[in-house]
Amino acid sequence: MAPLFDLSVYRGEPTPEDIAAANAQVHQHERAITSIHARIAALLADVARLRVVEAQHNEAIRTCKGVTTLARRIPDELLAQIFEQCVADGWTRAPVVVSAVCSAWRRAARAPRVWSHVYVNCSSPDALARTRYWVTMARAAPLDVTLVSVWNPTWQLEELMDLLLQHAGRWRTLAIESTSLYQVNVLLARIPLARTRAPGLREVSIQTEVHFDETVDDGATDVVGLADALSPIIAPALTTLRYFANVAPRTPIFPAHLQHLTLSATESPLAHPLSARDLLATLAGVPQLRSLTLSMPLEYEHPYLLWPDLARTVVLPLLTSLTMYGPTDLNELLFHLRAPRIKRLHLRSLEDLGYRQQPIAPSLLRFLARSAPSSFTEESDLAALDSSPSPSTQEPPDAADLGTGAVPLELLELHDIDLAPEAFASAFRALPHLRELRLHESSISDGTLRVLHGPHGFCPRLTRVDFRWCGHLGGKALVELVRSRLPRAEAQDEDSTAGIGIEVLHSGSAAASASAGEGSGPADPIEEVAAINCCFVEEQDVLELARLTTCRVLMREADEDYCRTRDCCGNVRYRTRLRLRHMVGMSAEERARMRLVV
Protein backbone atom coordinates (compact mmCIF):
# COMPACT_ATOMS: atom_id res chain seq x y z
CA MET A 1 0.00 0.00 0.00
CA ALA A 2 1.36 3.37 -0.94
CA PRO A 3 2.10 5.72 1.98
CA LEU A 4 -0.62 8.29 2.60
CA PHE A 5 1.83 10.99 3.57
CA ASP A 6 5.08 12.19 2.27
CA LEU A 7 7.86 10.65 4.37
CA SER A 8 9.33 14.06 4.82
CA VAL A 9 6.42 14.89 7.10
CA TYR A 10 7.84 12.45 9.76
CA ARG A 11 11.24 14.07 9.62
CA GLY A 12 10.13 17.38 10.92
CA GLU A 13 7.66 18.98 13.25
CA PRO A 14 4.08 18.34 11.92
CA THR A 15 2.01 21.28 11.00
CA PRO A 16 -1.62 21.70 12.09
CA GLU A 17 -2.66 20.67 8.58
CA ASP A 18 -0.66 17.45 8.88
CA ILE A 19 -2.30 16.61 12.24
CA ALA A 20 -5.79 17.23 10.84
CA ALA A 21 -5.06 15.05 7.83
CA ALA A 22 -3.77 12.21 10.06
CA ASN A 23 -6.86 12.32 12.30
CA ALA A 24 -9.08 12.19 9.24
CA GLN A 25 -7.25 9.11 8.00
CA VAL A 26 -7.61 7.40 11.43
CA HIS A 27 -11.39 7.92 11.41
CA GLN A 28 -11.57 6.61 7.86
CA HIS A 29 -9.73 3.37 8.77
CA GLU A 30 -11.84 2.87 11.90
CA ARG A 31 -15.02 3.15 9.83
CA ALA A 32 -13.59 0.58 7.41
CA ILE A 33 -12.79 -1.81 10.26
CA THR A 34 -16.30 -1.41 11.69
CA SER A 35 -17.74 -2.26 8.28
CA ILE A 36 -15.53 -5.31 8.05
CA HIS A 37 -16.64 -6.50 11.52
CA ALA A 38 -20.25 -6.11 10.47
CA ARG A 39 -19.65 -8.19 7.38
CA ILE A 40 -17.85 -10.86 9.43
CA ALA A 41 -20.75 -11.01 11.90
CA ALA A 42 -23.19 -11.35 9.04
CA LEU A 43 -21.14 -14.15 7.50
CA LEU A 44 -20.82 -15.93 10.86
CA ALA A 45 -24.56 -15.67 11.29
CA ASP A 46 -24.99 -17.22 7.86
CA VAL A 47 -22.53 -19.99 8.81
CA ALA A 48 -24.45 -20.66 12.01
CA ARG A 49 -27.73 -20.83 10.09
CA LEU A 50 -26.14 -23.16 7.55
CA ARG A 51 -24.80 -25.41 10.33
CA VAL A 52 -28.29 -25.64 11.79
CA VAL A 53 -29.63 -26.60 8.39
CA GLU A 54 -26.77 -29.09 8.02
CA ALA A 55 -27.60 -30.67 11.38
CA GLN A 56 -31.23 -30.94 10.34
CA HIS A 57 -30.23 -32.73 7.17
CA ASN A 58 -27.90 -35.06 9.08
CA GLU A 59 -30.69 -35.86 11.51
CA ALA A 60 -33.00 -36.55 8.58
CA ILE A 61 -30.34 -38.81 7.06
CA ARG A 62 -29.97 -40.73 10.34
CA THR A 63 -33.73 -41.09 10.55
CA CYS A 64 -33.92 -42.38 7.00
CA LYS A 65 -31.02 -44.78 7.57
CA GLY A 66 -32.66 -45.92 10.78
CA VAL A 67 -35.60 -47.14 8.73
CA THR A 68 -33.34 -49.34 6.60
CA THR A 69 -30.68 -50.25 9.19
CA LEU A 70 -29.98 -53.91 9.92
CA ALA A 71 -31.00 -53.47 13.56
CA ARG A 72 -34.50 -52.42 12.39
CA ARG A 73 -34.70 -55.27 9.91
CA ILE A 74 -33.65 -58.02 12.31
CA PRO A 75 -36.62 -60.34 12.90
CA ASP A 76 -38.17 -60.22 16.34
CA GLU A 77 -37.20 -63.85 16.89
CA LEU A 78 -33.50 -63.10 16.36
CA LEU A 79 -33.64 -59.95 18.47
CA ALA A 80 -35.20 -61.96 21.28
CA GLN A 81 -32.33 -64.46 21.08
CA ILE A 82 -29.80 -61.61 21.28
CA PHE A 83 -31.54 -60.15 24.32
CA GLU A 84 -31.68 -63.56 25.94
CA GLN A 85 -27.94 -64.03 25.40
CA CYS A 86 -27.28 -60.64 26.99
CA VAL A 87 -29.11 -61.78 30.12
CA ALA A 88 -27.32 -65.13 30.13
CA ASP A 89 -23.97 -63.29 29.98
CA GLY A 90 -24.77 -61.37 33.15
CA TRP A 91 -26.65 -58.25 32.04
CA THR A 92 -29.63 -58.92 34.27
CA ARG A 93 -31.48 -55.67 33.46
CA ALA A 94 -31.31 -56.22 29.70
CA PRO A 95 -35.07 -56.80 29.19
CA VAL A 96 -35.92 -53.50 30.88
CA VAL A 97 -33.22 -51.47 29.13
CA VAL A 98 -33.80 -52.74 25.59
CA SER A 99 -37.55 -52.20 25.93
CA ALA A 100 -36.90 -48.43 26.07
CA VAL A 101 -34.93 -48.26 22.80
CA CYS A 102 -37.71 -48.38 20.20
CA SER A 103 -41.03 -50.01 19.48
CA ALA A 104 -39.43 -52.86 17.52
CA TRP A 105 -37.08 -53.74 20.37
CA ARG A 106 -39.89 -53.37 22.88
CA ARG A 107 -41.96 -55.82 20.84
CA ALA A 108 -39.09 -58.31 20.66
CA ALA A 109 -38.37 -57.93 24.38
CA ARG A 110 -41.89 -59.17 25.17
CA ALA A 111 -40.80 -62.71 24.24
CA PRO A 112 -41.18 -64.83 27.40
CA ARG A 113 -37.74 -66.42 27.13
CA VAL A 114 -36.08 -62.97 27.33
CA TRP A 115 -37.39 -62.83 30.89
CA SER A 116 -36.61 -66.47 31.66
CA HIS A 117 -33.32 -65.63 33.47
CA VAL A 118 -34.56 -64.57 36.88
CA TYR A 119 -31.82 -62.84 38.85
CA VAL A 120 -32.86 -62.22 42.45
CA ASN A 121 -30.70 -59.87 44.49
CA CYS A 122 -32.12 -60.52 47.93
CA SER A 123 -30.62 -57.29 49.26
CA SER A 124 -32.56 -55.12 46.81
CA PRO A 125 -35.40 -53.20 48.50
CA ASP A 126 -37.85 -54.12 45.70
CA ALA A 127 -36.62 -57.71 45.29
CA LEU A 128 -40.04 -59.30 45.85
CA ALA A 129 -41.94 -57.03 43.48
CA ARG A 130 -39.23 -57.25 40.83
CA THR A 131 -39.14 -61.04 41.03
CA ARG A 132 -42.92 -61.26 40.78
CA TYR A 133 -42.87 -59.00 37.70
CA TRP A 134 -40.07 -61.03 36.11
CA VAL A 135 -41.76 -64.43 36.46
CA THR A 136 -45.03 -62.90 35.21
CA MET A 137 -43.34 -61.58 32.06
CA ALA A 138 -41.71 -65.00 31.51
CA ARG A 139 -45.18 -66.57 31.40
CA ALA A 140 -44.73 -70.31 30.66
CA ALA A 141 -41.06 -70.18 29.60
CA PRO A 142 -38.49 -72.33 31.47
CA LEU A 143 -36.76 -70.40 34.24
CA ASP A 144 -33.05 -70.06 35.03
CA VAL A 145 -33.07 -68.84 38.62
CA THR A 146 -30.16 -67.14 40.39
CA LEU A 147 -30.41 -66.04 44.02
CA VAL A 148 -27.71 -63.80 45.48
CA SER A 149 -27.73 -63.14 49.21
CA VAL A 150 -25.14 -61.34 51.31
CA TRP A 151 -26.88 -61.12 54.65
CA ASN A 152 -30.64 -60.89 54.70
CA PRO A 153 -33.33 -61.55 57.31
CA THR A 154 -34.64 -65.08 57.32
CA TRP A 155 -38.21 -63.95 56.65
CA GLN A 156 -37.10 -62.10 53.51
CA LEU A 157 -35.29 -65.16 52.15
CA GLU A 158 -38.27 -67.39 52.85
CA GLU A 159 -40.66 -64.93 51.21
CA LEU A 160 -38.60 -64.79 48.02
CA MET A 161 -38.03 -68.54 47.90
CA ASP A 162 -41.75 -69.26 48.41
CA LEU A 163 -42.57 -66.99 45.47
CA LEU A 164 -40.09 -68.81 43.24
CA LEU A 165 -41.34 -72.21 44.39
CA GLN A 166 -44.76 -71.35 43.00
CA HIS A 167 -43.08 -71.66 39.60
CA ALA A 168 -40.79 -74.62 40.44
CA GLY A 169 -42.38 -76.63 37.66
CA ARG A 170 -40.68 -74.31 35.18
CA TRP A 171 -37.21 -74.33 36.75
CA ARG A 172 -34.44 -75.29 34.34
CA THR A 173 -31.39 -74.25 36.37
CA LEU A 174 -30.96 -73.03 39.94
CA ALA A 175 -27.98 -71.09 41.32
CA ILE A 176 -27.59 -69.94 44.92
CA GLU A 177 -24.74 -67.58 45.82
CA SER A 178 -24.29 -66.53 49.42
CA THR A 179 -21.40 -65.77 51.73
CA SER A 180 -23.32 -67.46 54.56
CA LEU A 181 -23.83 -71.21 54.77
CA TYR A 182 -26.76 -70.60 57.07
CA GLN A 183 -28.64 -68.64 54.44
CA VAL A 184 -28.06 -71.33 51.83
CA ASN A 185 -29.57 -73.87 54.21
CA VAL A 186 -32.56 -71.55 54.82
CA LEU A 187 -33.25 -71.27 51.10
CA LEU A 188 -32.91 -75.01 50.44
CA ALA A 189 -35.07 -75.93 53.43
CA ARG A 190 -38.07 -74.20 51.81
CA ILE A 191 -38.05 -76.59 48.83
CA PRO A 192 -39.21 -79.79 50.58
CA LEU A 193 -41.56 -77.76 52.81
CA ALA A 194 -43.37 -76.44 49.73
CA ARG A 195 -44.30 -80.00 48.72
CA THR A 196 -43.76 -79.17 45.08
CA ARG A 197 -41.71 -80.74 42.31
CA ALA A 198 -39.22 -79.37 39.80
CA PRO A 199 -39.42 -81.93 36.99
CA GLY A 200 -37.43 -79.80 34.52
CA LEU A 201 -34.55 -78.87 36.84
CA ARG A 202 -31.32 -80.19 35.34
CA GLU A 203 -28.47 -78.05 36.71
CA VAL A 204 -27.80 -76.62 40.18
CA SER A 205 -24.93 -74.41 41.34
CA ILE A 206 -24.15 -73.66 44.98
CA GLN A 207 -21.55 -71.06 45.99
CA THR A 208 -21.05 -70.38 49.69
CA GLU A 209 -18.56 -69.98 52.53
CA VAL A 210 -18.15 -71.60 55.92
CA HIS A 211 -17.30 -69.20 58.75
CA PHE A 212 -16.06 -71.13 61.75
CA ASP A 213 -16.24 -68.12 64.04
CA GLU A 214 -19.98 -67.60 63.46
CA THR A 215 -22.48 -69.05 65.90
CA VAL A 216 -25.41 -68.34 63.61
CA ASP A 217 -24.69 -71.49 61.62
CA ASP A 218 -25.41 -73.63 64.70
CA GLY A 219 -22.17 -75.49 64.18
CA ALA A 220 -23.12 -76.69 60.69
CA THR A 221 -20.24 -76.81 58.22
CA ASP A 222 -22.09 -78.38 55.29
CA VAL A 223 -25.15 -77.65 53.18
CA VAL A 224 -27.11 -80.26 55.08
CA GLY A 225 -30.39 -79.77 53.22
CA LEU A 226 -29.05 -80.26 49.70
CA ALA A 227 -29.91 -83.94 49.31
CA ASP A 228 -33.46 -83.51 50.66
CA ALA A 229 -34.14 -80.39 48.59
CA LEU A 230 -32.98 -82.04 45.35
CA SER A 231 -34.06 -85.61 45.93
CA PRO A 232 -35.10 -87.81 42.96
CA ILE A 233 -38.74 -87.22 43.91
CA ILE A 234 -38.45 -83.42 43.80
CA ALA A 235 -35.91 -83.08 40.96
CA PRO A 236 -35.95 -86.33 38.98
CA ALA A 237 -34.19 -84.83 35.92
CA LEU A 238 -31.29 -83.30 37.88
CA THR A 239 -27.99 -84.42 36.36
CA THR A 240 -25.41 -81.69 37.07
CA LEU A 241 -24.35 -79.99 40.30
CA ARG A 242 -21.53 -77.51 40.86
CA TYR A 243 -20.52 -76.88 44.46
CA PHE A 244 -18.08 -74.06 45.27
CA ALA A 245 -17.04 -73.35 48.87
CA ASN A 246 -13.98 -72.43 50.86
CA VAL A 247 -13.84 -75.94 52.39
CA ALA A 248 -14.84 -79.36 51.13
CA PRO A 249 -17.93 -81.01 52.67
CA ARG A 250 -17.38 -83.41 55.53
CA THR A 251 -20.47 -85.54 55.02
CA PRO A 252 -22.32 -86.96 51.99
CA ILE A 253 -24.56 -84.01 51.09
CA PHE A 254 -25.23 -84.52 47.37
CA PRO A 255 -28.28 -86.20 45.79
CA ALA A 256 -27.53 -89.81 44.97
CA HIS A 257 -28.83 -89.61 41.39
CA LEU A 258 -26.29 -87.00 40.22
CA GLN A 259 -24.40 -87.79 37.02
CA HIS A 260 -22.01 -84.81 36.75
CA LEU A 261 -20.41 -83.25 39.84
CA THR A 262 -17.96 -80.36 40.20
CA LEU A 263 -16.59 -79.96 43.72
CA SER A 264 -14.32 -76.97 44.36
CA ALA A 265 -12.71 -75.86 47.62
CA THR A 266 -10.23 -73.03 48.18
CA GLU A 267 -8.94 -73.60 51.72
CA SER A 268 -7.68 -76.29 54.07
CA PRO A 269 -7.86 -74.56 57.47
CA LEU A 270 -6.81 -76.06 60.76
CA ALA A 271 -10.44 -76.32 61.84
CA HIS A 272 -11.47 -78.18 58.68
CA PRO A 273 -8.49 -79.71 56.80
CA LEU A 274 -8.77 -81.28 53.39
CA SER A 275 -9.22 -84.98 54.06
CA ALA A 276 -9.32 -88.14 51.95
CA ARG A 277 -11.87 -89.56 54.40
CA ASP A 278 -14.31 -86.73 53.70
CA LEU A 279 -13.83 -86.87 49.93
CA LEU A 280 -14.34 -90.62 49.78
CA ALA A 281 -17.44 -90.40 51.96
CA THR A 282 -18.81 -87.77 49.59
CA LEU A 283 -18.08 -89.83 46.47
CA ALA A 284 -19.56 -92.97 47.97
CA GLY A 285 -22.89 -91.15 48.15
CA VAL A 286 -23.06 -90.48 44.39
CA PRO A 287 -22.58 -93.88 42.71
CA GLN A 288 -24.17 -92.85 39.40
CA LEU A 289 -21.57 -90.24 38.45
CA ARG A 290 -20.54 -90.05 34.80
CA SER A 291 -18.10 -87.15 35.23
CA LEU A 292 -16.33 -85.79 38.30
CA THR A 293 -14.21 -82.66 38.75
CA LEU A 294 -12.34 -82.06 42.00
CA SER A 295 -10.60 -78.69 42.45
CA MET A 296 -8.79 -78.36 45.75
CA PRO A 297 -6.56 -75.65 47.27
CA LEU A 298 -2.89 -75.46 46.38
CA GLU A 299 -2.03 -73.34 49.43
CA TYR A 300 -3.39 -74.30 52.82
CA GLU A 301 -2.72 -74.19 56.51
CA HIS A 302 -3.20 -77.86 57.26
CA PRO A 303 -1.65 -80.57 55.05
CA TYR A 304 -3.89 -82.90 53.10
CA LEU A 305 -4.95 -85.86 55.27
CA LEU A 306 -4.41 -89.25 53.67
CA TRP A 307 -6.68 -92.21 54.35
CA PRO A 308 -4.95 -94.64 56.71
CA ASP A 309 -6.98 -97.66 55.58
CA LEU A 310 -5.48 -98.76 52.25
CA ALA A 311 -8.27 -101.29 51.76
CA ARG A 312 -10.95 -98.57 51.61
CA THR A 313 -12.23 -98.39 48.04
CA VAL A 314 -15.04 -96.48 46.35
CA VAL A 315 -16.34 -97.95 43.10
CA LEU A 316 -17.85 -95.54 40.57
CA PRO A 317 -19.14 -98.00 37.97
CA LEU A 318 -20.46 -95.42 35.48
CA LEU A 319 -17.69 -92.80 35.70
CA THR A 320 -16.20 -91.94 32.30
CA SER A 321 -14.38 -88.64 33.04
CA LEU A 322 -12.31 -87.72 36.10
CA THR A 323 -10.52 -84.38 36.60
CA MET A 324 -8.50 -83.58 39.72
CA TYR A 325 -6.74 -80.25 40.30
CA GLY A 326 -4.95 -79.55 43.53
CA PRO A 327 -1.85 -80.43 45.55
CA THR A 328 0.04 -83.35 44.11
CA ASP A 329 -0.67 -85.53 47.12
CA LEU A 330 -4.39 -85.19 46.35
CA ASN A 331 -3.74 -87.71 43.60
CA GLU A 332 -3.26 -90.28 46.36
CA LEU A 333 -7.06 -90.39 46.25
CA LEU A 334 -6.70 -92.52 43.11
CA PHE A 335 -5.44 -95.31 45.35
CA HIS A 336 -8.98 -95.69 46.72
CA LEU A 337 -11.00 -95.30 43.50
CA ARG A 338 -12.14 -97.83 40.92
CA ALA A 339 -13.79 -96.76 37.67
CA PRO A 340 -14.17 -99.61 35.16
CA ARG A 341 -15.62 -97.33 32.43
CA ILE A 342 -13.15 -94.45 32.76
CA LYS A 343 -12.26 -92.90 29.39
CA ARG A 344 -10.81 -89.48 30.28
CA LEU A 345 -8.38 -88.82 33.15
CA HIS A 346 -7.06 -85.30 33.82
CA LEU A 347 -4.57 -84.94 36.69
CA ARG A 348 -3.55 -81.32 37.23
CA SER A 349 -1.39 -79.71 39.86
CA LEU A 350 1.09 -76.85 40.13
CA GLU A 351 4.72 -77.78 39.65
CA ASP A 352 5.81 -74.58 41.38
CA LEU A 353 5.01 -75.96 44.84
CA GLY A 354 7.76 -78.53 44.54
CA TYR A 355 8.08 -79.00 48.29
CA ARG A 356 4.72 -80.78 48.30
CA GLN A 357 5.29 -82.90 45.21
CA GLN A 358 4.69 -86.55 45.98
CA PRO A 359 5.27 -89.45 43.58
CA ILE A 360 1.90 -90.40 42.18
CA ALA A 361 3.03 -93.40 40.14
CA PRO A 362 1.92 -96.01 42.73
CA SER A 363 -1.57 -94.48 43.02
CA LEU A 364 -1.98 -93.99 39.27
CA LEU A 365 -0.82 -97.49 38.38
CA ARG A 366 -3.01 -99.02 41.08
CA PHE A 367 -5.99 -97.03 39.80
CA LEU A 368 -5.38 -98.24 36.25
CA ALA A 369 -4.92 -101.84 37.34
CA ARG A 370 -7.88 -102.00 39.70
CA SER A 371 -10.18 -100.09 37.34
CA ALA A 372 -9.67 -102.63 34.58
CA PRO A 373 -12.80 -104.77 34.23
CA SER A 374 -10.57 -107.83 34.45
CA SER A 375 -9.76 -106.87 38.05
CA PHE A 376 -13.39 -107.45 39.03
CA THR A 377 -12.78 -111.16 39.29
CA GLU A 378 -15.77 -112.04 41.36
CA GLU A 379 -18.97 -112.66 39.45
CA SER A 380 -20.86 -110.67 42.06
CA ASP A 381 -18.73 -107.62 41.21
CA LEU A 382 -19.43 -107.89 37.49
CA ALA A 383 -23.10 -108.48 38.13
CA ALA A 384 -23.22 -105.36 40.29
CA LEU A 385 -21.64 -103.34 37.49
CA ASP A 386 -23.99 -104.71 34.84
CA SER A 387 -27.00 -103.94 37.03
CA SER A 388 -25.91 -100.38 37.85
CA PRO A 389 -28.90 -98.07 37.58
CA SER A 390 -29.01 -96.10 34.37
CA PRO A 391 -31.58 -93.29 34.16
CA SER A 392 -33.97 -93.48 31.24
CA THR A 393 -32.71 -90.15 29.95
CA GLN A 394 -29.22 -91.56 29.37
CA GLU A 395 -28.02 -94.09 26.84
CA PRO A 396 -27.19 -97.48 28.34
CA PRO A 397 -23.47 -98.04 28.99
CA ASP A 398 -21.47 -99.80 26.33
CA ALA A 399 -21.30 -103.45 27.21
CA ALA A 400 -17.82 -103.68 25.69
CA ASP A 401 -16.50 -101.56 28.53
CA LEU A 402 -17.23 -104.41 30.91
CA GLY A 403 -15.14 -106.95 29.10
CA THR A 404 -12.20 -108.71 30.64
CA GLY A 405 -9.53 -106.43 29.11
CA ALA A 406 -7.63 -103.42 30.38
CA VAL A 407 -9.05 -100.13 31.58
CA PRO A 408 -10.77 -98.39 28.63
CA LEU A 409 -8.95 -95.06 29.17
CA GLU A 410 -8.73 -93.04 25.94
CA LEU A 411 -7.31 -89.69 27.17
CA LEU A 412 -4.61 -89.14 29.79
CA GLU A 413 -3.50 -85.64 30.81
CA LEU A 414 -0.73 -84.98 33.34
CA HIS A 415 -0.48 -81.23 33.95
CA ASP A 416 2.53 -80.26 36.07
CA ILE A 417 2.67 -83.83 37.34
CA ASP A 418 5.54 -86.08 36.39
CA LEU A 419 6.37 -89.78 36.36
CA ALA A 420 9.63 -91.65 36.42
CA PRO A 421 10.65 -93.40 33.16
CA GLU A 422 9.76 -96.84 34.48
CA ALA A 423 6.38 -95.50 35.69
CA PHE A 424 5.68 -94.04 32.25
CA ALA A 425 6.44 -97.39 30.69
CA SER A 426 4.17 -99.24 33.12
CA ALA A 427 1.36 -96.77 32.53
CA PHE A 428 1.70 -97.02 28.75
CA ARG A 429 1.71 -100.81 28.97
CA ALA A 430 -1.57 -100.69 30.91
CA LEU A 431 -3.32 -98.43 28.36
CA PRO A 432 -3.90 -100.33 25.12
CA HIS A 433 -6.99 -98.19 24.36
CA LEU A 434 -5.29 -94.80 24.86
CA ARG A 435 -5.94 -92.43 21.97
CA GLU A 436 -4.63 -89.09 23.29
CA LEU A 437 -1.72 -88.23 25.59
CA ARG A 438 -1.22 -84.73 27.05
CA LEU A 439 1.88 -83.91 29.09
CA HIS A 440 2.55 -80.45 30.55
CA GLU A 441 5.81 -79.57 32.35
CA SER A 442 6.99 -83.18 32.10
CA SER A 443 10.51 -84.58 32.04
CA ILE A 444 9.61 -87.40 29.66
CA SER A 445 12.73 -88.40 27.76
CA ASP A 446 13.44 -89.60 24.26
CA GLY A 447 14.14 -93.08 25.60
CA THR A 448 10.75 -93.23 27.34
CA LEU A 449 9.05 -92.18 24.12
CA ARG A 450 10.60 -95.12 22.28
CA VAL A 451 8.28 -97.60 24.03
CA LEU A 452 5.53 -96.17 21.79
CA HIS A 453 7.49 -96.78 18.58
CA GLY A 454 6.65 -99.18 15.84
CA PRO A 455 3.59 -101.10 14.80
CA HIS A 456 3.74 -103.18 17.99
CA GLY A 457 4.64 -100.49 20.52
CA PHE A 458 2.69 -99.65 23.65
CA CYS A 459 -0.60 -97.74 23.31
CA PRO A 460 -1.35 -99.04 19.82
CA ARG A 461 -4.45 -96.90 19.46
CA LEU A 462 -2.58 -93.65 20.28
CA THR A 463 -3.18 -91.06 17.54
CA ARG A 464 -2.75 -87.66 19.30
CA VAL A 465 0.08 -86.42 21.52
CA ASP A 466 0.39 -82.97 23.11
CA PHE A 467 3.70 -82.03 24.78
CA ARG A 468 4.17 -78.62 26.45
CA TRP A 469 7.14 -77.36 28.46
CA CYS A 470 8.76 -80.80 28.17
CA GLY A 471 12.36 -79.71 28.64
CA HIS A 472 14.01 -83.10 28.02
CA LEU A 473 12.11 -84.10 24.90
CA GLY A 474 13.94 -83.80 21.60
CA GLY A 475 12.44 -82.99 18.26
CA LYS A 476 14.16 -85.96 16.60
CA ALA A 477 12.33 -88.27 19.01
CA LEU A 478 9.00 -86.88 17.81
CA VAL A 479 10.04 -87.36 14.20
CA GLU A 480 11.07 -90.96 14.90
CA LEU A 481 7.79 -91.63 16.71
CA VAL A 482 5.69 -90.38 13.78
CA ARG A 483 7.84 -92.19 11.20
CA SER A 484 7.84 -95.47 13.12
CA ARG A 485 4.05 -95.65 13.18
CA LEU A 486 3.44 -94.72 9.56
CA PRO A 487 2.00 -97.43 7.33
CA ARG A 488 4.65 -98.97 5.11
CA ALA A 489 3.35 -97.32 1.93
CA GLU A 490 3.43 -93.87 3.51
CA ALA A 491 6.77 -94.39 5.24
CA GLN A 492 8.42 -94.91 1.86
CA ASP A 493 6.99 -91.68 0.43
CA GLU A 494 8.00 -88.70 2.58
CA ASP A 495 8.12 -86.00 -0.05
CA SER A 496 4.72 -84.36 0.50
CA THR A 497 5.07 -81.24 2.61
CA ALA A 498 2.69 -78.54 3.78
CA GLY A 499 2.84 -75.48 6.02
CA ILE A 500 4.62 -75.25 9.33
CA GLY A 501 2.66 -74.67 12.55
CA ILE A 502 2.60 -75.34 16.23
CA GLU A 503 0.12 -78.17 15.81
CA VAL A 504 1.20 -80.98 13.44
CA LEU A 505 -1.58 -83.27 12.26
CA HIS A 506 -1.20 -86.38 10.17
CA SER A 507 -3.89 -87.48 7.73
CA GLY A 508 -3.57 -91.12 8.60
CA SER A 509 -4.77 -94.02 6.57
CA ALA A 510 -8.38 -94.77 7.40
CA ALA A 511 -8.00 -98.28 6.01
CA ALA A 512 -5.14 -99.02 8.36
CA SER A 513 -7.08 -97.75 11.35
CA ALA A 514 -10.15 -99.70 10.40
CA SER A 515 -8.23 -102.91 9.92
CA ALA A 516 -6.59 -102.62 13.33
CA GLY A 517 -8.86 -104.18 15.90
CA GLU A 518 -9.25 -102.77 19.41
CA GLY A 519 -6.22 -103.97 21.34
CA SER A 520 -4.87 -106.06 18.43
CA GLY A 521 -3.25 -105.57 15.03
CA PRO A 522 -0.71 -102.91 14.02
CA ALA A 523 -0.51 -99.60 15.82
CA ASP A 524 -2.50 -96.67 14.49
CA PRO A 525 -0.53 -93.85 12.85
CA ILE A 526 -0.05 -90.60 14.79
CA GLU A 527 -2.64 -88.11 13.51
CA GLU A 528 -1.81 -85.07 15.66
CA VAL A 529 1.38 -83.86 17.33
CA ALA A 530 1.57 -80.69 19.43
CA ALA A 531 4.92 -79.41 20.71
CA ILE A 532 4.69 -76.09 22.56
CA ASN A 533 7.59 -74.49 24.45
CA CYS A 534 9.71 -77.63 24.13
CA CYS A 535 13.19 -76.14 23.84
CA PHE A 536 14.77 -79.12 22.03
CA VAL A 537 12.12 -79.23 19.30
CA GLU A 538 13.81 -77.12 16.66
CA GLU A 539 12.76 -75.71 13.32
CA GLN A 540 14.42 -78.48 11.37
CA ASP A 541 12.40 -81.02 13.36
CA VAL A 542 9.18 -79.24 12.45
CA LEU A 543 10.28 -79.23 8.79
CA GLU A 544 10.92 -82.95 9.00
CA LEU A 545 7.49 -83.51 10.54
CA ALA A 546 6.06 -81.41 7.72
CA ARG A 547 7.56 -83.83 5.23
CA LEU A 548 5.90 -86.71 7.04
CA THR A 549 2.58 -85.10 7.80
CA THR A 550 0.02 -82.50 6.88
CA CYS A 551 0.50 -79.42 9.06
CA ARG A 552 -1.87 -76.73 10.19
CA VAL A 553 -2.35 -74.36 13.12
CA LEU A 554 -5.13 -75.58 15.38
CA MET A 555 -6.92 -73.57 18.08
CA ARG A 556 -8.89 -75.64 20.54
CA GLU A 557 -11.80 -74.40 22.63
CA ALA A 558 -11.03 -73.20 26.16
CA ASP A 559 -12.73 -76.19 27.77
CA GLU A 560 -10.48 -78.51 25.74
CA ASP A 561 -7.26 -76.57 26.36
CA TYR A 562 -6.55 -76.14 30.05
CA CYS A 563 -3.63 -73.75 29.44
CA ARG A 564 -6.04 -71.19 27.95
CA THR A 565 -8.05 -71.06 31.17
CA ARG A 566 -5.04 -70.35 33.44
CA ASP A 567 -2.65 -68.38 31.21
CA CYS A 568 0.06 -70.77 32.31
CA CYS A 569 2.08 -70.85 29.08
CA GLY A 570 3.47 -67.33 29.36
CA ASN A 571 5.50 -64.95 31.49
CA VAL A 572 2.68 -64.73 34.03
CA ARG A 573 3.38 -68.35 34.88
CA TYR A 574 6.92 -67.58 35.98
CA ARG A 575 5.90 -64.53 37.98
CA THR A 576 3.35 -66.68 39.79
CA ARG A 577 5.95 -69.37 40.36
CA LEU A 578 8.35 -66.90 41.97
CA ARG A 579 5.63 -65.51 44.22
CA LEU A 580 4.50 -68.96 45.36
CA ARG A 581 8.05 -70.04 46.14
CA HIS A 582 8.44 -67.01 48.38
CA MET A 583 5.21 -67.98 50.14
CA VAL A 584 6.46 -71.44 51.06
CA GLY A 585 6.76 -71.74 54.81
CA MET A 586 4.92 -68.52 55.58
CA SER A 587 2.13 -68.39 58.12
CA ALA A 588 -1.47 -67.78 57.07
CA GLU A 589 -1.27 -64.14 58.19
CA GLU A 590 1.94 -63.54 56.23
CA ARG A 591 0.47 -65.13 53.10
CA ALA A 592 -2.65 -62.99 53.43
CA ARG A 593 -0.56 -59.82 53.73
CA MET A 594 1.51 -60.84 50.72
CA ARG A 595 -1.61 -61.40 48.63
CA LEU A 596 -2.73 -57.88 49.45
CA VAL A 597 0.64 -56.45 48.44
CA VAL A 598 0.83 -58.43 45.22
Residue 498 is predicted with a pLDDT of 33
The total number of residues shown for the chain amounts to: 598
pLDDT of residue 353 exceeding 70, the answer is no
Task: Give 362-386 pLDDT, tens digit per residue.
Answer: 899 999 999 888 777 654 554 455 4
262: pLDDT confidence band, cut at 50, 70 and 90? Answer: very high
**Rounded CA gap, 277 and 306, in Å?**
8
The number of CA neighbours under 13 Å toward the Cβ of 229 is 23
pLDDT of residue 393 exceeding 80, the answer is no
275 by DSSP, 3-state: which?
Answer: strand
Task: Give 183-214 pLDDT, tens digit per residue.
Answer: 899 999 999 998 899 999 999 999 998 877 65
DSSP string spanning 6-18? -GGGGGSPPPHHH
**Does pTM surpass 0.85?**
no
Residue 119: phi and psi, rounded to 5, are -105, 115
pLDDT of residue 51 exceeding 80, the answer is yes
Task: Give 555-594 pLDDT, tens digit per residue.
Answer: 777 667 777 666 566 555 544 544 444 444 444 444 443 3
**Rounded CA gap, 505 and 501, in Å?**
10
510 by DSSP, 3-state: which?
Answer: helix
**Rounded CA gap, 341 and 372, in Å?**
8
